[in-house]
Amino acid sequence: MQVTAFLLGMLVFVVYTVLIRAFYTVKPDERAILTSFGRARRIGRLMVEDASLNEEEKQRYRFPRLQVIGPGGPYFKWPWQEVHKVRVVTEAIDLTWDPTKSQHTIEAVTKDNLTTGVGGQIRFRVSENNLYAYFFGVDKPLEHVMGYFISVLRERIANFVDPKGESLVGDTELSTGSAAAELSEGVSINDLRKNLPLLNDYMEQQCRSTGARYGIELDAALITQIDPPPEVDRALSAINTTRNQVAADISTARADAEQQITMSKRAVDIARNNAQAEVAPLKELANTLAQIKTTGGPGALRTYIRNLRVPLLKRATRIVQTAAPK
Amino acid sequence: MFFDSDFSLGPIVAFVIGVLYIPILLAIARALGLYAIVREREAQVFTLFGKVIGTLDEPGLRFPLGYFGLKALLVPFFGKLYRVPTCLRQHYLRDQMVNSEEGTPMGVGIWYEMQVSDPVSYLFSNANPEGSLQANVASSTISTLSNLEMDKMLEDRHQLSRRVRAAVSPLSEQWGYALGSVYIRKVAFTDRQMVDNITDKVVKRLVQVTSAMKQDGENRVGLIKSETAYKVSQKMAEAAAARPAIVGEALNAIAQQDPEVLNAVMEVMETEQLIASGAQVDVLPVDSEILVQL
């Protein structure tokens, strides 16, 4: 009876470990690897390769390629085997995430030594090609990635200048003067804000090796905020306000100028027309009198003028006449 | 039912023993050192009578007897088994104080990776290898960065990081640690007043830009206005000169044609104006030589 019970107990243990615990499934967003007696199943002698690592780094980040179990199931495993699953979906994490410190922004120093705040997110996913690094090679992969990312980001911010060499004030905005040359240098905070996409691209490019290093691939760097101290922000806003004000003043002046110039051009036309109007009867009268002279000679012209003066005699109030000599 | 006098606990105990038999047997075999399961990125260091007899670092099922002979059987009684993780770890040393060449106090944060490369040295060469490594990285950082120009400290971080790594690596190797990547993660001003001064400097520069833009705008507006005034005055002068030019040209043309006709034209026009004016008229003879009081 007791021997039977003992054997039954052993049978229960075997059924539980070999049959019940032997089957597992992998969800669509998961990948799994299997270890036998603690050793992960490898793909022959293949190692993870990454061209972005230099020779010295390749020696340091040497991880074997593992046999990855894709979604599906039920899969079978032996009792001495263990399944390690991980979600491979793209996830996002705030830049300020730091397990050892609570913070609301990342502090960084710009090229002109201004201490500014940086905010945003990074999108990442576990690298299917390097699950060994994620599961075994690196103690805390995400902390590693964040440590590396923040280091590169701060270094880049400290060196960042506008790649197009654009100044704070556009080339067309300042005409001449001693200030123009002085102001041709960019203000770092403005350069950074104008070129956020470029900064994000640089970070993505620099973090291409994280998959090979730590088993986490950076999908995108989404730096969305460059937060300088409020007084700097206000001063930058004042520049924009002034820029708009100046543009408005210049537009108004140009409009006034155009109006006045048009008016003066019209004044010339008006004066010419008035003069032409004055000259037209003159010319007409001259032509008429010339015809009278041509037809009747100089006497006819004098007679015409005498005739013209006749109405004046009607209006005469006094006539002084001298006696004719006898 | 369980408290029935006829009920015997024997089969239940036998069943429980049956369930636990295999795990207990395996645990005993493991405790006696008959086999060892070495996990990925783990090294197992075996010591006996105060001496290291060997290390297992190849993952999988291992039999210490095959590696160390019969000595392996004495380890559970007269020795010790140490498990050392050899995965890549990282540490962030915050706020290391350095002074720049200009005397500016700066806070430096240095982030580094480390990995146990020699488990035996890691266990027995240094009582606190991690603490010693931290102290080494800190002192190397301070000696590398102290008295550097502030701009160089801020901008040449990667190069400086490599120098720190080169300085620390030989010592860390002695303690069984391999130093991985080293990055100067943060360089910051520790003096609040200095941060405020720099902020003030940037603000003033921006104010200067604002003033320059405003002044330039005013200059441009002034220039537009003066150019306009010049053009308008030119045109107005042209307008004023239009009448004399046109009338003079017409009179000259008539005079060139026939001066007598021009005189006649002028007399006709003057007479017409006189008639139209309605003024009183006194008629005097042409050859009158006396002054008539009107």
Give the tens place of pLDDT for each residue, A118-149: 999 999 999 998 999 999 999 989 998 898 89
Least confident span in A176-180, B55-59, B172-176: A176-180
Q: Is the pLDDT of residue A5 over 60?
A: yes
Least confident span in A127-131, A170-174, B18-22, B96-100: A170-174
Considering the domain boundaries, does residue B195 fall inside one? no
- Chain B nearest-CA distance from A203, in A, is 15
* Cβ pair A188, A160 in contact under 8 A: yes
What is d(CA A129, CA A117) in angstroms, rounded to the nearest whole number?
35
Give the tens place of pLDDT for each residue, A207-221: 888 899 899 998 888
* Structure confidence at residue A323 (pLDDT): 64
Considering the domain boundaries, does residue B230 fall inside one? no
Q: Is the pLDDT of residue B278 over 90?
A: no
The share of chain A scoring above pLDDT 90, in percent, equals 40
The letter for the amino acid at A194 is K
Which residues, numbered 36 to 75 in chain B, qualify as contacts with chain A under a Cβ-Cβ cut-off of 8 Å?
37-42, 59-61
Which whole number is the average pLDDT over B96-109? 87
What is d(CA B36, CA B75) in angstroms, rounded to the nearest whole number?
12
Q: Is the pLDDT of residue A174 over 60?
A: no
Residue ranges of the domains in chain A? 1-164+187-228, 230-292
Considering the domain boundaries, does residue B257 fall inside one? no
Considering the domain boundaries, does residue B235 fall inside one? no
Distance of CA A143 to the CA centre of its chain: 30
Give the tens place of pLDDT for each residue, B219-276: 999 999 999 999 999 999 999 999 999 999 998 988 888 888 889 988 888 888 888 8
Q: Which chain A residues contact residue B249 at CB under 8 A?
A: 279
What is d(CA A215, CA A208) in angstroms, rounded to the nearest whole number?
11
* Cβ pair B113, B90 in contact under 8 A: yes
Which whole number is the average pLDDT over A303-320? 82
Which whole number is the average pLDDT over B3-28? 80
Confirm or reject contact between B17 and chain A (CB < 8 A). Answer: yes
This prediction has a pTM of: 0.74
Asked if B69 and B104 sit in the same domain, the reply is: no
* Structure confidence at residue A181 (pLDDT): 43
pLDDT band at A167 (very low <50, low <70, confident <90, very high): low
Confirm or reject contact between B224 and chain A (CB < 8 A). Answer: yes
Quick one: which H or E segment has residue A216? strand A216-227
pLDDT band at A322 (very low <50, low <70, confident <90, very high): low
Q: Is the pLDDT of residue A199 over 50?
A: yes
Binary contact (B111, A305; C-beta < 8 A):
no
* Structure confidence at residue B1 (pLDDT): 42
Write the residue in B87, B111, B220 that is nearest to A139 by C-beta.
B87
Q: Encoding tokens for residue A301?
A: 């012209």
Which whole number is the average pLDDT over B207-217? 90
Domain boundary among B139, B166, B190: B190
What is d(CA A290, CA B258) in angstroms, rounded to the nearest whole number?
8
The share of chain B scoring above pLDDT 70, in percent, equals 95
Asked if B101 and B186 sit in the same domain, the reply is: yes
Q: Please provide the size of chain B in residues.
A: 294
Asked if B175 and B111 sit in the same domain, the reply is: yes
Which residues, numbered 99 to 158 in chain B, qualify as contacts with chain A under a Cβ-Cβ cut-off of 8 Å?
111, 113, 150, 154-155, 157-158
* Structure confidence at residue A207 (pLDDT): 87
* Structure confidence at residue B31 (pLDDT): 86
Q: Encoding tokens for residue A257?
A: 């100028």
Distance of CA A49 to the CA centre of its chain: 35
Q: Give the DSSP letter string of B14-83.
A: HHHHHHHHHHHHHHHHHHTTS-EEEPTTEEEEEEETTEEEEEE-S-EEE-HHHHHTTHHHHHHHHEEEEE
What is d(CA B264, CA A285) in angstroms, rounded to the nearest whole number?
9
What is d(CA B177, CA B117) in angstroms, rounded to the nearest whole number?
5
Asked if B92 and B171 sit in the same domain, the reply is: yes
- Chain B nearest-CA distance from A71, in A, is 24
Asked if B48 and B139 sit in the same domain, the reply is: no
* Structure confidence at residue A256 (pLDDT): 94
Considering the domain boundaries, does residue B5 fall inside one? no
Q: What is the mean pLDDT of chain A?
A: 86
Q: Encoding tokens for residue A114?
A: 């201004």
Give the tens place of pLDDT for each residue, B176-190: 888 888 888 999 888
Query: Which domain, by its residues, includes B55?
Result: 15-84
The share of chain B scoring above pLDDT 90, in percent, equals 30
What is d(CA B61, CA B36) in angstroms, rounded to the nearest whole number?
6
What is d(CA B52, CA B47) in angstroms, rounded to the nearest whole number?
4
Nearest-Cα residue of chain B relative to residue A183: B209
Q: Identify which of B160, B96, B99 has the alpha carbon closest to the alpha carbon of residue B134.
A: B96
Q: Are strands A115-126 and A216-227 parallel, antiparallel or unpaired?
A: antiparallel
Asked if B96 and B78 sit in the same domain, the reply is: no
Q: Is the pLDDT of residue B7 over 80?
A: no
Which whole number is the average pLDDT over A81-98? 92
Asked if B47 and B97 sit in the same domain, the reply is: no
What is d(CA A75, CA A85) in angstroms, rounded to the nearest whole number?
13
Considering the domain boundaries, does residue B33 fall inside one? yes
* Structure confidence at residue B291 (pLDDT): 55
pLDDT band at A324 (very low <50, low <70, confident <90, very high): low
Homologous superfamily of the A1-164+187-228 domain (CATH): Band 7 domain (3.30.479.30)
Q: Is the pLDDT of residue A309 over 90?
A: no
Which whole number is the average pLDDT over A142-170? 82
Give the tens place of pLDDT for each residue, A227-252: 888 999 898 889 889 989 999 999 99
What is d(CA A96, CA B22) in angstroms, rounded to the nearest whole number?
49
- Choice between A309 and B40, residue whose per-residue pLDDT is larger: B40
What is d(CA B114, CA B132) in angstroms, rounded to the nearest whole number?
13
Confirm or reject contact between A239 and chain B (CB < 8 A). Answer: yes
Considering the domain boundaries, does residue B197 fall inside one? no
Confirm or reject contact between A289 and chain B (CB < 8 A). Answer: yes
Confirm or reject contact between B29 and chain A (CB < 8 A). Answer: no
Q: Give the DSSP letter string of B64-112.
A: HHHHHTTHHHHHHHHEEEEEEE-SBEEEEEEEEEEE-TT--EEEEEEEE
Considering its fold, how many domains does chain B have in total?
Answer: 2
Q: Give the DSSP letter string of B265-290.
A: HHHHHHHHHHHHHT--EEE--TT--S
Q: The domain that contains B104 carries what CATH number?
A: 3.30.479.30
Q: Look at residue B239 and give its three-state secondary structure.
A: helix
Q: Is the pLDDT of residue A183 over 60?
A: no
Give the tens place of pLDDT for each residue, B119-161: 999 898 888 888 888 888 888 888 888 878 888 888 888 888 8
Q: Is the pLDDT of residue A180 over 50?
A: no
Considering the domain boundaries, does residue B239 fall inside one? no
Name residues whose C-beta falls within 8 Å of residue B28's C-beta, 6 or more positions apart in sequence. Answer: none
The runs of H, that is alpha helices, within chain A are 2-14, 55-60, 131-132, 141-159, 178-182, 188-194, 196-206, 210-214, 230-314
Q: What is the mean pLDDT of chain B?
A: 87
